[in-house]
Amino acid sequence: MKENAISAGFFGTGHFVPERVLTNADLEKMVDTSDEWIVTRSGIRERRIADESMTTSDMCYEASLRALADGDVNASELDLIIVCTVTPDYAFPSVSCLLQDRLGASRAAAFDLSAGCTGFVYGVVTAAQFIGTGLYKKVLVVGAEMLSSITNWKDRSTCVLFGDGAGAAVMGPCEKGSGLLSAYLGSDGSLGPLLCLPAGGTKEPITEEAMALGRDKLYMEGSEVFKVAVRHMEAAIRNAVEAIGEEVSAIDLLIPHQANRRIIDAVNKKIGLPEDNVVINLDRYGNTSAASVPIALSEAVQDGRLQEGDLLVMTSFGAGMTWGAVAVRWNKKELS
């Protein structure tokens, strides 16, 4: 990655998850599954599910308020809002515009970004470009997902894996040598059918027949996605770290996409970090797609797992298929 004129760092982080907890025991009553199968195959014990009155933008709003408070930033100072999601309130207007209005971010531009579970990583890199050119000084990046709205609750191979939530970060200019140091993004559209929402777009409208076949719900070929995830997350981490002339052993904290404990363990077996250097919260939240990395980032900050000067790597993979990683020198100080 060519170095930007201005470095982009993180000043504030926050997250929100709905109150309602859906445990593996609850799922045992809904489909033919067991706590033992879910825990051994995925590491997930429970997930949060939004109630019917809640929308993706509601979760964005709650997470954003926390990130703004953490960064001591007023919504009216925001120049840009990027919401990364594949489960928007509407096809349009965008979630970012709904959020802009609700936050009272009167001078912010706003757009949504769709990169599946890699959304937040793509969003952070996008924000860094606007900051890097000097165009914008305060950018809010939110990863939010209400996957429960597109989950097929009759398909045991997918419904046990996902959850709802939102995570947010306020980004802006920081000292050279800190903040976002490198980025590696990738995609392969030929793999799109492995993880998709077949009906509901221009290609396939939602009809009664489509609904009867479950084509208005998430479809996934789990074992194929698994292989792609391990291969590309490992490569993305190595690329992001090598781009700054470091070894993977220099990573102080790795925040991987929280899809499956076995995927994270397989990636870590290849790169060999101590377990304490890898953030895992999927046991409590399941896979929250674009929200997974920013929720884990916000929790890591809250738990004091990130210190000034630490080398943080965030990595993800998801629908598209897409993948990516960013290397960040952690420094919450804003450039004055």
Determine the Cα–Cα distance for residues 213 and 210; give it in Å rounded to an integer.
5
* HSE, side-chain direction, 13 A CA sphere, residue 308: 7
Contact pick of 33, 114, 129, 277 for ligand COA (by CB under 6 A): 33
The answer to whether residues 218 and 158 touch, using CB atoms and an 8 Å cutoff, is yes
Determine the Cα–Cα distance for residues 87 and 314; give it in Å rounded to an integer.
22
Single out the segment in contact with ligand COA by CB under 6 A; choices: 9-17, 38-46, 90-98, 242-250.
Answer: 38-46
Per the DSSP assignment, residues forming a β-bridge with 219 are: 196
Per the DSSP assignment, residues forming a β-bridge with 10 are: 171
Residues 267-286 vs ligand COA: string with x where CB under 6 A?
A: --------------------
Contact pick of 223, 245, 272, 276 for ligand COA (by CB under 6 A): 223
Decide whether 119 or 132 has the Cβ nearer to ligand COA.
119
Name residue 66's amino acid: R
Q: How far is the CB of 251 from ligand COA (least distance, A)?
A: 22
Q: Does 86 bind ligand COA (CB under 6 A)?
A: no
Residues 295-334 vs ligand COA: string with x where CB under 6 A?
A: -----------------------x----------------
Decide whether 1 or 38 has the Cβ nearer to ligand COA.
38
Using CB under 6 A as the binding rule, the residues of this chain from 202 to 221 that contact ligand COA are 220
Q: Does 29 bind ligand COA (CB under 6 A)?
A: no
Determine the Cα–Cα distance for residues 127 and 137; give it in Å rounded to an integer.
10
Q: Which residues are catalytic?
A: 117, 257, 287
Decide whether 190 or 307 has the Cβ nearer to ligand COA.
190
Bridge pairing between strands 80-84 and 109-113: parallel
Please give the order of strands across the beta sheet that includes 109-113: 7-16, 164-174, 139-146, 80-84, 109-113
Place of tokens 């939240």: 285
Give the interface size with ligand COA as a residue count (CB under 6 A): 21
CA distances from 193 to 90, 187, 273 (A): 23, 13, 33
Decide whether 99 or 160 has the Cβ nearer to ligand COA.
160
Using CB under 6 A as the binding rule, the residues of this chain from 41 to 60 that contact ligand COA are 41-42
Determine the Cα–Cα distance for residues 187 and 93; give it in Å rounded to an integer.
26
Q: Does 156 bind ligand COA (CB under 6 A)?
A: yes
Residues of the shown chain interacting with ligand COA in the complex, contacts defined by CB under 6 A? 33, 37-38, 41-42, 117, 156-157, 160, 195, 220, 222-223, 225-226, 229, 259-260, 263, 287, 318
